[in-house]
Amino acid sequence: MTRSPQLRRLHFLNALFAPLTGHDLYLAQQIDDAISSSLGEAEQRTPNDPAFIAAAVRLLEKLCSVRTTHGFFHWDAGADDTAAEPLFARAGLMQGLKQLAAFPESTLLVTNLRSAHCPPDRRWTDRRQRNYDDSLALIRNLAAARTRRSANLNLLFL
């Protein structure tokens, strides 16, 4: 069963903005409408479309800058050819986790991790899958180790 792009976008926005909206689907629809009005042909855009992600990230950054109790950091694993390598991933994530340490609630959005390990024109091999799984484990373990116990960190992968 294939979901419509709009339903996929709503699920993404509900997860991304949930700490600010309280999982309110009506507000997720309002956010989707706001993003859609700023992008052309938004009805056809999926949540992994770079323009849609950029618009959602900009909106969440604006909202988090107003609210002093919620932090936000976006780490793009596909930013360059080496971003998903463990050493560079750790450096990028540590930068974000340091920024988020001051907030009691925060969201860490990780994008393009799958495509950084296996470009769309390539096939998944055992080695690529193992490297991808290792990257997921590294991100989860680093986030758990570098977040205060009293803080609430939402870790989202897209």
Tokens of 124: 């998944």
User: Are residues 154 and 107 in contact, defined by beta-carbon separation less than 8 angstroms?
Assistant: yes
Residue 14 within a domain: no
Cα–Cα distance list, 61 to 41, 44, 64, 73, 107 (Å): 23, 24, 5, 8, 10
In this structure, the chain runs to a length of: 158
- Confidence band, pLDDT 50/70/90 cuts, at residue 140: very high
Residue 95 within a domain: yes
Residue 143 within a domain: yes
44-72 tens-digit pLDDT: 666 667 777 888 888 888 877 776 788 88
Higher pLDDT, 13 or 1: 13
37-48 tens-digit pLDDT: 777 665 566 666
Residue 122 within a domain: yes
Residue-range definition of the domain harbouring residue 100: 68-157
Counted domains in the chain: 1
What Rg, from alpha-carbon coordinates, does the chain have? Answer: 16
Tokens of 32: 């989707």
- The CA distance from 130 to 134, in Å, is 6
